[in-house]
């Protein structure tokens, strides 16, 4: 019962923190330097990881689907399947998981260390709005970084799939890319952009907001010295991954079932 109550309390605090951040968005220009610093740190630190994982995801996806499709003589559809899978699901999801494990843990540890060393209390004494000063730049930076990294993941995943398709499945590279591009041309109901592209980017945006909000809230609520910082970091990564999976389901339903 206590665990359930603590979970509800933490969820309420996270929603309050996110709402407070949204209210402070007009102050973003004053925090542009801190936001750009966070964006650079978050983006550059995981680019190589996103590219590496995205490459092998596309290769694995191509190999698995290609073997099955080859039994029916449908290898020419591999480009379509890989492009749609990467744009809709795999790209945003993989990027979100990587950021939860890297940027999310780092943010929770950073703010948790500030909390247990009384730096946050010092900011409060100095009448500094810690949501405006600390949380706003981090949430905005992750909300921007996640879609950008998802684009890289999608692109390298499709390219990795082309390598496997041409070298192991006998599919011409030009045919592969033609089918991949054709698959992503379907316009959406809300925007003139291809639906599979903007839904994937929107998912990545939501995942970035989720990761940053949970990481910041866990860090700010840390207590108990080094042990508490470690617990806050673990909880931030765990909760971020859980909420990414749950949000992914509802966003998929929203865009592909309800519309």
Q: How far apart are the C-alpha atoms of 72 and 87, rounded to whole Å? A: 25
**CA dist., res. 20 & res. 8, Å (int):** 18
Q: What is the pLDDT of residue 118?
A: 86
For the chain, state the CA radius of gyration: 21
Q: Residue 18: which H helix or E strand, with range?
A: helix 2-23
Assess contact for 225 and 117: CB atoms under 8 A: no
pLDDT of the residue at 225? 83
pLDDT given at position 223 = 86
- pLDDT value at residue 157: 94
Identify whether the C-beta of residue 221 lies closer than 8 Å to the C-beta of residue 155: no
Below-70 pLDDT ranges, the chain: 1-2, 186-193, 258-259
**Residue-level pLDDT at 188:** 57
User: Nearest Cα to 102, choosing from 46, 170, 38?
Assistant: 46
CB 23 within 8 A of CB 134: no
Q: Which residues contact 84 (CB under 8 A, 6 or more apart)?
A: 183, 184, 196
pTM of the full predicted structure?
Answer: 0.91
pLDDT number for residue 45: 85
DSSP annotation of 223 reads -
Contact between residue 214 and residue 105 where contact means Cβ atoms under 8 Å apart: no
> CB neighbours (10 Å) of residue 202?
17
* Tokens describing residue 79: 């480009």
């Amino acid at each position: 019962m206590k665990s359930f109550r603590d979970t509800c309390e933490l969820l309420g605090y996270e929603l309050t923190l996110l709402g407070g951040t949204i209210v402070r968005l007009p102050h973003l220009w004053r925090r542009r330097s801190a936001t750009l610093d966070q964006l650079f740190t978050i983006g550059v630190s995981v680019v190589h990881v996103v590219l590496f994982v995205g490459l092998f995801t596309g290769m694995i996806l191509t190999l698995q689907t290609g073997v099955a499709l080859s039994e029916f003589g449908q290898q020419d559809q591999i480009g379509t399947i890989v492009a749609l899978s990467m744009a809709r699901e795999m790209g945003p999801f993989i990027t979100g998981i990587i950021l939860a494990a890297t940027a999310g843990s780092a943010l929770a540890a950073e703010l948790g260390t500030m909390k247990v060393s009384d730096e946050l209390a010092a900011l409060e004494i100095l009448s500094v709005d810690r949501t405006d000063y600390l949380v706003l730049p981090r949430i905005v930076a992750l909300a921007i970084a996640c879609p950008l990294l998802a684009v890289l993941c999608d692109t390298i995943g499709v390219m990795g799939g082309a390598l496997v398709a041409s070298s192991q499945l006998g599919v011409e590279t030009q045919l592969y890319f033609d089918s991949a591009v054709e698959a992503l041309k379907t316009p959406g109901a809300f925007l003139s952009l291809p639906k599979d592209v903007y839904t994937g980017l929107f998912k990545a945006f939501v995942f970035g907001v989720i990761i940053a909000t949970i990481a910041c809230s866990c860090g700010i609520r840390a207590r108990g010295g080094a042990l508490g910082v470690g617990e806050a970091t673990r909880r931030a990564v765990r909760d971020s991954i859980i909420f990414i999976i749950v949000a992914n389901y509802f966003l998929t339903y929203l865009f592909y079932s309800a519309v």
